[in-house]
Amino acid sequence: MTQDDIGFDDVYLQVDGVTVWTGRIANGQTLDLHNVPPYSFDSTQRAGVQVVLREADSTDPDDLLGSYIVQPQHSRPLGYSENGADYTLHLTSTA
Ligand SMILES: [Ca+2]
Ligand SMILES: [Ca+2]
């Protein structure tokens, strides 16, 4: 479900503060985020990475929909439900 009451949500996904995907989502819509670059724990040697979903508004500050620390081999879907949003992010591990 969209976070904004009217129209589309302008959602963006941030990995460690870097925006890796931006998209426009309607109520009930499912999107395949095929163009998000894979995150390589092997090359960064990190134990976890922060995955944040935000929704952009032109007149208000952007809304935080949720924030998670994701570790290697993570397979559970991430639910983003803050500020009235209802999004589920599915991750794929290639390790
Ligand atoms: Ca909003
Ligand atoms: Ca908005």
Note the pLDDT of residue 9: 97
Residue 50: inside a domain, yes or no?
A: yes
Task: For residue 2, tell me if it sits in a domain.
Answer: no
Structural domain tally of the chain? 1
- Residues whose CB is under 5 A from ligand 2 (ion)? 4, 10, 57
Give residues whose Cβ lies within 5 Å of ion ligand 1. Answer: 3-4, 55, 57, 63
Residue 4 lies in a domain: no
Expressed as residue numbers, the domain containing 33 is 9-89
pTM value?
0.92
Domain assignment of residue 24, yes or no: yes
**What is the percent of the chain where pLDDT is above 90?**
87
Q: Is residue 73 in a domain?
A: yes
- Which conformational region is residue 84 in: left (phi greater than 0), alpha (psi within -120 to 50 degrees), or beta? left
Per-residue model confidence (pLDDT) at position 55? 98
Which ligand approaches the C-alpha of residue 85 most closely? 1
Examine residue 79 and state whether it is found in any structural domain, yes or no: yes
Q: Does 94 map to a domain? A: no
**61 alpha carbon to ligand 1 midpoint, in Å?**
8
Classify residue 3 as exposed, middle or buried by CB count within 10 Å of its CB (0-12, 13-18, 19+).
buried
Does 81 map to a domain?
A: yes
